Amino acid sequence: MNILVLCTGNSARSILLECLLRRLGDGLITTYSAGSQPAGIVHPQSIALLSAKGYDVSTLSSKSWDVFVDGDAPKMDAVITVCGSAASETCPIWPGVPLRAHWGVEDPAAVEGPDAVAAFQTAYAILHRRAAKFVAGDIAKMGRSELQAHLTACGNVA
């Protein structure tokens, strides 16, 4: 299963979920991430958090979702958006036929100062619970409508 995780800047939330789904999916899921307005760099706190948790961060990059529109790009089975609920935030919409789900999380990259580390830890924890619930389902055997319902339900995990 190919999953694309989308967000605006592709520097924090989408990167975190990309790594989580890759690890928890244990070879069942190939994950990618991108942004509608990529920051161009992965947020240093994303790198620090993921490194501390033993993830390989050497290949992570902030990139445009345009990379995945190309004819040579992998076909996506599902697209998950992780933009928060802030009204001013643009959340990308993916064209085509992949399943879609919204797992909104507030942007930890928007938090500065001493609360920044906690904001990243909170975003990671929420996304971890959602990703764990997703992979705990028998996703390889689910039909399209059942998988859509499962994706949607996982996005509601607090």
Q: Give the model confidence (pLDDT) of 17-37 as tens digits.
A: 999 999 999 999 999 999 988
pTM value is 0.94
Q: Does domain 2-154 have CATH number 3.40.50.2300?
A: yes
Known catalytic residue: 19?
Answer: no
pLDDT grade for 84, boundaries at 50, 70 and 90: confident
Give the pLDDT of residue 71: 77
The three-state (H, E, C) secondary structure of the chain, written as one string: CEEEEEECCCCCHHHHHHHHHHHHHCCCCEEEEEECCCCCCCCHHHHHHHHHCCCCCCCCCCCEHHHHCCCCCCCCCEEEECCCCCCCCCCCCCCCCCEEEECCCCCHHHCCHHHHHHHHHHHHHHHHHHHHHHHHCCHHHCCHHHHHHHHHHHCCCC
Q: Which residue in 83, 119, 123, 135 is the catalytic one?
A: 83
7 is catalytic: yes
Residue 50, pLDDT above cutoff 60: yes
Q: Which residue of the set 7, 111, 123, 131 is catalytic?
A: 7
Assess whether 83 carries a catalytic annotation. Answer: yes
Catalytic, out of 39, 57, 73, 91: 91
